[in-house]
């Protein structure tokens, strides 16, 4: 089972975590694009229970765009990495017809406290730490169909680090963790069910959505990756009777820099809540882990 990043045990107290991620522009503003790209790459370190310490820029940039745009992108990345308590120590840039930026990131963790996608147990509660909607909202934005307020909210969430959620999950001794990105909520959730005889039972009404998402979904505004996710993961999902295709697609929607999905023992819920309250960080309890019931995921409306 591939996890969110590679991990190497250095000794009894230290494990090195290494990851990389980059993508094409998801928003028009150069600085925001850089900040989102950095938060997205850093998220894999947090999903493993680590602390980022060092990053290298990865950038491809067209020759015919002003260098000031690249400067704004890199500034957004650098300031986001700095806010995570890490440093950018260089990187590599090439010429390309379309911008692509991201990071290679090194983090550190205790080897006995690394998170993986495996380990969810019947009785665990399922926690999500960011609302869904970046795929459909960003696609609407690219087609000039999104309201600015909806884009601004999506940018805020995509730029938010998963640091506090990771630290709270460590304190609460979570059983399994991943972050929600390109495979959508249901794709990444199904990965967490593959290591044991468990099913994730989710309640749609408890799953947080960004403002405007249901309206864009009703107009079937989704990126191509969301359709790919539905084709790939739908056989692993049982939807409740009468659940609309639009709602189903929201759960397959390809996300960028989404929140953490955490399988947490009920005994740790109070600790998690208290830790998140210290920084006024958002979280939602969206379901539970049960004994295997023939499918990976069950969704009720």
Enumerate the domain spans of the chain.
Answer: 6-113, 125-300
pLDDT at position 195, please? 75
Q: Domain 125-300 - what CATH class?
A: alpha beta
Q: Which pTM value belongs to this model?
A: 0.96
pLDDT tens digits, the chain, 301 residues: what are they?
578 999 999 999 999 999 999 999 999 999 999 999 999 999 999 999 999 999 999 999 999 999 999 999 999 999 999 999 999 999 999 999 999 999 999 999 999 999 999 999 999 999 999 999 999 999 999 999 999 999 999 999 999 999 999 999 999 999 999 999 999 999 999 999 987 899 999 999 999 999 999 999 999 999 999 999 999 999 999 999 989 999 999 999 999 999 999 999 999 999 999 999 999 999 999 999 999 988 999 999 8
| Superfamily holding 6-113 | PurM-like, N-terminal domain (3.30.1330.10)
Q: What distance in Å separates the CA atoms of residue 39 and residue 55, rounded to the nearest whole number?
A: 12
Contact yes or no for 6/17 (Cβ under 8 A):
yes
85: which 2 tokens? 């308590």
Q: What distance in Å separates the CA atoms of residue 83 and residue 136, rounded to the nearest whole number?
A: 28
């Amino acid at each position: 089972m591939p996890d969110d990043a590679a991990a190497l045990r250095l000794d009894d107290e230290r494990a090195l975590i290494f990851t990389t991620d980059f993508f094409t522009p998801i928003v028009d503003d150069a600085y925001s694009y850089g900040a989102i790209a950095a938060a997205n790459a850093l998220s894999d370190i947090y999903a493993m229970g680590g602390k980022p310490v060092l990053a290298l820029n990865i950038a491809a940039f067209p020759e015919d765009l002003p260098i000031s745009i690249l400067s704004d992108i890199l500034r957004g990345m650098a300031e986001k990495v700095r806010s995570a308590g890490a440093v950018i120590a260089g990187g590599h840039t090439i010429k390309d017809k379309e911008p692509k930026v991201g990071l290679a990131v090194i983090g550190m963790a205790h080897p006995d406290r690394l998170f993986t996608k495996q380990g969810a147990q019947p009785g665990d509660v399922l926690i999500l730490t960011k609302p869904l909607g970046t795929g459909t909202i960003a696609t609407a934005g690219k087609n000039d169909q999104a309201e600015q307020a909806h884009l601004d909210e999506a940018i805020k969430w995509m730029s938010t680090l998963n640091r506090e959620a990771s630290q709270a999950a460590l304190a609460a001794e979570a059983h399994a963790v991943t972050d929600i990105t390109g495979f959508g909520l249901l794709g990444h959730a199904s990965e967490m069910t593959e290591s044991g005889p468990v099913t994730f039972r989710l309640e749609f009404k408890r799953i947080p959505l960004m403002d405007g998402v249901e309206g864009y979904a009703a107009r079937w505004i989704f990126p191509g990756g969301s359709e790919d996710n539905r084709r790939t993961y739908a056989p692993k999902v049982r939807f409740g009777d009468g659940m609309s295709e639009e709602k189903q697609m929201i759960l397959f929607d390809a996300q960028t820099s989404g929140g953490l999905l955490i399988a947490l023992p009920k005994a740790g819920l109070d600790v998690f809540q208290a830790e998140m309250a210290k920084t006024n960080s958002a979280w939602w309890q969206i379901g539970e882990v049960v004994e295997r019931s023939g499918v990976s995921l069950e969704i009720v409306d």
